[in-house]
Amino acid sequence: MIAPSILSADFARLADELEAVEGSDWVHVDVMDAHFVPNLTLGLPVVEALLKVTDIPMDCHLMIDDPDRWAVGYAEAGAYNVTVHAEAAADPVKIARDLRAAGAKAGLSIKPGTPLDPWVPALKHYDTLLVMSVEPGFGGQSFMADVLGKVRTARRLVDTGHLNVLVEIDGGINSDTIELAAEAGVDCFVAGSAVYNADDPAKAITALRDRAARAKEGA
């Protein structure tokens, strides 16, 4: 699965930029509040507007303080998957239940320096694990390969039936790094500049998907 990140899109032409990635599995929307992370992007009103102009399932990644208060609004608006950060959640199990009750898939994200093991019990209530392969807050950063150990652990837990989550990765994914991530066991790849900086975003998505599939076959 490929989820283009509109953080790398032209914010003045977001409807057109969504149309350019029609072949994607999800569209990834980074919500940043300038508190949990140092950057400020967009919020619920923009997400509500985007949901009116695309049928691509929307994957909302909330890099915000107090997701316990704000996350459900994105689910109620119609986001397909809503991801909160483990480091910001006061009650991650309750958030997961509330998101699911509101009709969305529930995702839990961990930053590069956050260990996976303490969050495994909470992840039993989630649909998606988002492993950050850059520090959250800004696009265009370099891929941090040392997070792939957490991906491999999560893959084992899924394959052995201890977890039932889709394993997603976000940060520095391009035509080179996607193979490493695929071999480690990632299911869904968030790609920003690798898609939106390409001459043909649709072709870039297809190429990334093909590279990931080949890497998984050889893993």
Residue 121 is part of a domain; what is its CATH number? 3.20.20.70
Phi, psi of 169 (to 5 degrees): -135, 145
* The pLDDT of residue 136: 86
Domain that holds residue 64: 2-218
C-alpha distance from residue 85 to each of 17, 99, 114, 160, 175 (Å): 26, 14, 10, 25, 27
What pLDDT is stored for residue 139 in this prediction?
Answer: 65
pLDDT of residue 67: 97
Which residues are designated catalytic?
A: 30, 170
pLDDT score recorded for residue 142: 86
Three-state DSSP at 207 gives helix
pLDDT at 48: 97
Total structural domains within the chain: 1
Identify the pLDDT of residue 141.
74
Decide: 31 and 62 in contact? Cβ < 8 Å.
Answer: yes
Q: What is the pLDDT of residue 100?
A: 98
Encoded amino acid at 5, one letter: S
Residues near 116 by Cβ (< 8 Å), separated by ≥ 6? 110, 131, 150, 153, 154
**pLDDT score for 219:** 63
Residue ranges, the chain, pLDDT below 70: 139-140, 219
Q: What is the per-residue pLDDT for 217? A: 83
